[in-house]
Structure 1
Amino acid sequence: MLINSKLLNTYGAETTAINPLETIFREGEKPKYYYQINTGRIKLNHFDEDGKEIIQSVLVPGQSVCELLLFIDEKYPVNAETLSHCEVIKLPKENFFQLLAENKDISLDINRFLSERLFQKFVMMQNNLSLRPEVRILGALDYFKSYSNNHEKYSFEVYLTRKQLASITGLRIETVIRTIKKMERENVLKIENSKIFY
């Protein structure tokens, strides 16, 4: 958990249950809240000029949702949509800044987390420029595994579908499926009951 939920509650946070396929905020809206996921998964996406969905990230319990935009005066460049039933902690922006001002250790943790996330995002973006599909897929898998505490081989269960991996990497679903099978043959990852372990 990025910030302890009890501490968030003392600053006026509310926990909300949200059904699958609901929108938490839309591209173009102004950030008004700090969001942290208790349960469930949330995707950050937008649609290109042809209406194709581009998934920027998939967030899991313990992660916060677009908190970096609370620090600047910009609108959301993405939508946040639930992929499953979610429980989300929601704290007003002003209360979030009061919490940071009164808890310097948490402020440092947030800065470290943002820095790590930006670093991994840069690496993934560089990999997405590759013409080799395995490089793009590895970049995405490394990015999502970076949030895990266990970095041993095959320790990370990839919670993304093949379609979501295709959207994140800009590849066709068929290419993702073919490349994942090749990566399994090369022992880069393993597949058990259709689930990918990296």
Structure 2
Amino acid sequence: MLISPELLKKYGAETEDFEPSHIIFNEGDIPKYYYQVLEGRIKLNNYNEDGKELIFAILDKGLSVCELLLFIDKTYPVNAITFEKCTVIKLPKLSFEKMLDENPAVSRDINKFLSERLYYKYIMLENNSSLRPDVRVQGALDYYKSYTGKTEKFSYEIPLTRQQLASLTALRVETVIRTVKKLEKEGALKIVNRKIFV
């Protein structure tokens, strides 16, 4: 967990349960809460002018949801939508700020987390600018594994479908399927029961 649920509750956080496909916030909404995933997964997405979904991140248990926007006066540039049944803990923005002021170690942890995410976002941007599908797909897989801290080869199951990988990399799903098979032959990933391990 990025921040312990006990500490969040001490500052007034509440938990909420959501059904699959529930919209936690929409693009253009004003950030009012710190959100952290306790159970389930949430995707951050928006849609281009052709109506095609673009996925920016898939957040698992323990991760926070767009916390960086609590530090600036900007609206959400993405939607946050549950993939499955989710339990989320949320803390009002003012209480979040108070918690950080009174807990410098937590504030440092947030800064470190934001710095790591920014670093990997740069890597993702670089990979997605490549014309080579294998560079894009491998970059997305490495990005998701980076959230886990797992370093051993094939120790992490990618929690994404081929369609979701296509949405993350701006590739067609057929291209992602071919590329995943190619990467498996090259030993860059392993497929077990249609699941990708890196």
TM range (shorter): over 0.9
Match of 1:175 in 2: 175
| Mean Cα deviation higher: 143-152 or 7-16 | 143-152
Q: Percent identity?
A: 61
| Mean Cα deviation higher: 39-48 or 141-150 | 141-150
After TM superposition, the score normalised by the length of structure 2 is 0.99
Q: Which runs of 5+ in 1 are unaligned?
A: none
Match of 1:68 in 2: 68
Measure, in 1, the Cα distance between the counterparts of 2:99 and 2:75.
Answer: 22
After TM superposition, the score normalised by the length of structure 1 is 0.99
Match of 2:44 in 1: 44
Q: Report how far residue 182 of structure 1 moved.
A: 0.7
Measure, in 2, the Cα distance between the counterparts of 1:172 and 1:197.
Answer: 21
Measure, in 1, the Cα distance between the counterparts of 2:104 and 2:149.
Answer: 24
**Structure 2 SS opposite 1:149:** coil
Pair 1:3 & 2:32 matched: no
**Structure 1 SS opposite 2:90:** strand
Measure, in 1, the Cα distance between the counterparts of 2:143 and 2:187.
Answer: 19
Count how many residue pairs are aligned between Structure 1 and Structure 2: 198
Q: 4+ residue runs of structure 1 moved beyond 6 angstroms?
A: none
Match of 2:20 in 1: 20
Match of 1:31 in 2: 31
Letter in 1 for 2:32: K
CA RMSD of the aligned region, Å? 0.5
Measure, in 2, the Cα distance between the counterparts of 1:14 and 1:172.
Answer: 40
Measure, in 2, the Cα distance between the counterparts of 1:187 and 1:142.
Answer: 14
